[in-house]
Amino acid sequence: MKVLVINGPNLSRLDIRDSSIYGDLSYPQLVNLIESAASSHGFTADVRQSDDEAEIISWLHEAADNSYPVIINPAAFTHYSYAIRDAAELVKSPLIEVHLSNPLAREEFRHTSVISGVANGTIGGFGPNSYALAMSALKALL
């Protein structure tokens, strides 16, 4: 089964971001971890990253149209993109929100997610393992 894994803005630049928050993996290493975790659960991960809100919305529409389960790290869009939230709500297959860091342990503006209300669940704070945990949760939901 195909799982659409959507990563939001700045995630492609993990290797130059604050490693105390985001870890020390490069984005290609994160993609490899995601693909390996998916494979271990019998899934095929289609991993995508965009800094463009419209592109993320179109990918969520694709997931809705094709009944793909979704794992999404909306990154900064988590806190204010009602457009992504509305597109995520169209996905009727399981949708899991993930974060490398724990947003509730960071700045106050990061404490609110507009996405979590339409997700089956949220996993954050476990670094790259947040994605592996999401794959396990997805397997249980399916």
Name 39's Cβ contacts closer than 8 Å, sequence gap at least 6: 45
Q: Active-site residue 61, yes or no?
A: no
93 known member of a binding site: no
Which of 22, 61, 80, 131 is flagged as catalytic? Answer: 22
32 known member of a binding site: no
Which of 80, 99, 111, 131 is flagged as catalytic? Answer: 99
100 known member of a binding site: yes
**Euclidean distance between CA atoms 58 and 97, whole angstroms:** 17
86 known member of a binding site: yes
What does the DSSP assignment read for the chain?
-EEEEEE-TTGGGGGGS-HHHH-S--HHHHHHHHHHHHHHTT-EEEEEE-S-HHHHHHHHHHHHHHT--EEEE-GGGGGT-HHHHHHHHT--S-EEEEESS-GGGS-GGGG--SSGGGSSEEEESSTTHHHHHHHHHHHHH-
73 known member of a binding site: yes
20 known member of a binding site: no
Residues identified as active-site? 22, 99
Binding-site residues sit at: 73, 79, 86, 100-101, 110
Binding-site residues for substrate sit at: 73, 79, 86, 100-101, 110
